Structures are given as structure tokens and as C-alpha cells.
Amino acid sequence: MSPERLLALAGLVTALLLLTRLGPPAVRSWRIYAGTRSRRMADAGPLEIPAPPAVAARLEELRSLGFSRIGERYIRLPNTPVRYDWVMGEPSGETYALGVVSVIGGFLVALYSSFDDSTWVMTTFPRGETIDRPTFHASFVDTSVEDAFAAHRATVARFALQHGRPRRVLTMADSLRMDADYRSHHGGLTLTRLTTQMIWPALAAMALAVVCALLLVVAR
């Protein structure tokens, strides 16, 4: 076998090994991303579901800011365990918060407010995306839940000058209705970067496999 064919064969084997490792996570990420707009949360109640310690600590911080429990909800994502959200609301109903389990750091807190024209404001702690569109604003604060809530309220007040008062979320039914509205209009926006990061390595491995297979055919 010529050196060219040996090199092409080695490249093909390497690419196929990479695909077996990178392919399944990439496919799962794409399925999660592609189905975001049509997928729906469901009420996990009526009994309270205890939150993991990292999430429970953030829920206590939200309580100290005036939030109270609305309930828990869940969703089934492709090839992943059931994911729960712990939903909290503040007295006016104009902002609701989610405590969720995260593989990075153990938790994520997300604050949401929305308006009648389906404009949304989202603020997360301690990490997240930064997106600024006329009808969707996402940002994150990495210092504290209290700072994230203050930043969120400031952004909501700015948007309210143009869009009016936010819609009220006081019950689980309100939360599920708003989640459907969010997904229908803006679902997937905050997942684009992460999904791209998961897919491109698998696509690169696939391209390498195709190139090496072609070289095996033409090399002598």
C-alpha cells in the first residue's frame, strides 16, 4: 500500500473514531435545538419537589428578595433525563424566576418578564447569553441573584416605556402559558451558540472522513 493510501486510511479511521464520540452529542444537541419552539413544559405538581442543594440555596435568595413558590414544572428532552424547573414569582407578577440544575456550577437562575406584544426580557445568573433585539433582550449577571434582579428590573423599566406594563405571572397556568409564548416567538435564540459549538466538531470529523475516503479511492 502506498504512503498516500496509508495516510488516507489513518485519517479515515481517526475521523470515524471522532464521529463515534462527537456524533451522538451533536445529534442530541440539534434535536433539542430544533424542537425548542414546539416543545412544551408541563406542571409537575401538586406536591412540592425538593430542589437539589445548589438550586435550593438560590431559591432561598429569591425568597429574601420577595419571591414565593409558584410550583415546579418539567420537560422531556431527547435522550436526556426529565428536567425540572423550580418556578418563583414576585408579588406584582411582572417578573418570574426559574431555578434549574446546570452541569456547570450546579445551578442557573433565570428571570423573565414579557409584554403583550410578545417582547421578552431575560436575565440569568451566574452565566448566560447576551442578545439584544427589538423584541428580545437577554443578558447575564455573574455577581449575585440580587444584582441580577436589579439589572432585570432596570431593563424591564426601560422596555416598559415602549411596550407598556409586563404581563402578570402569578400561577403555574400563567407560567406555562408564558413559556409557550416564549418558545413560539424566541425559542432557541439562547441555544444557538452552544448548539453550534456542539455540532461543528462532528461536522468537521464527517468532512475529514469524506476527504480521506475520496483519497483512498484515487490514491495509488
Report helix angle 192-218 to 3-34, nearest 10. Answer: 150
In a domain, 103, yes or no: yes
Asked if 19 and 11 count as a contact pair (C-beta separation under 8 A), the reply is no
In a domain, 192, yes or no: no
Tell me: do 95 and 53 sit in the same domain.
yes
**30 has pLDDT over 80:** yes
Give Cα 217 to chain centroid, integer Å. 43
Mean pLDDT of 14-20: 90
In a domain, 193, yes or no: no
pLDDT at 45: 85
pLDDT at 220: 60
Radius of gyration of the chain (CA): 22
- The 10s digit of each residue's pLDDT in 148-171 is 999 999 999 999 999 999 999 999
In a domain, 130, yes or no: yes
Give the count of domains, the chain: 2
- The 10s digit of each residue's pLDDT in 89-111 is 999 999 999 999 998 889 999 99
* Residue 71 φ then ψ, to 5°: 155, -170
Structure pTM? 0.89
Tell me: do 88 and 165 sit in the same domain.
yes
Q: State how far the Cα of 122 lies from the Cα of 137, in Å rounded to an integer.
A: 6
Tell me: do 45 and 146 sit in the same domain.
yes
Tell me: do 75 and 136 sit in the same domain.
yes
**2 has pLDDT over 80:** no
Which range among 48-52, 113-117, 134-138, 210-214 shows the weakest confidence by mean pLDDT?
210-214
Report helix angle 53-64 to 145-163, nearest 10. Answer: 60
Mean pLDDT of 129-156: 97
Residue 149 lies in domain: 41-187
**3 has pLDDT over 80:** no
- Report the mean per-residue pLDDT for the chain: 93
- The 10s digit of each residue's pLDDT in 75-94 is 988 878 899 999 999 999 99
Tell me: do 155 and 52 sit in the same domain.
yes
**214 has pLDDT over 90:** no
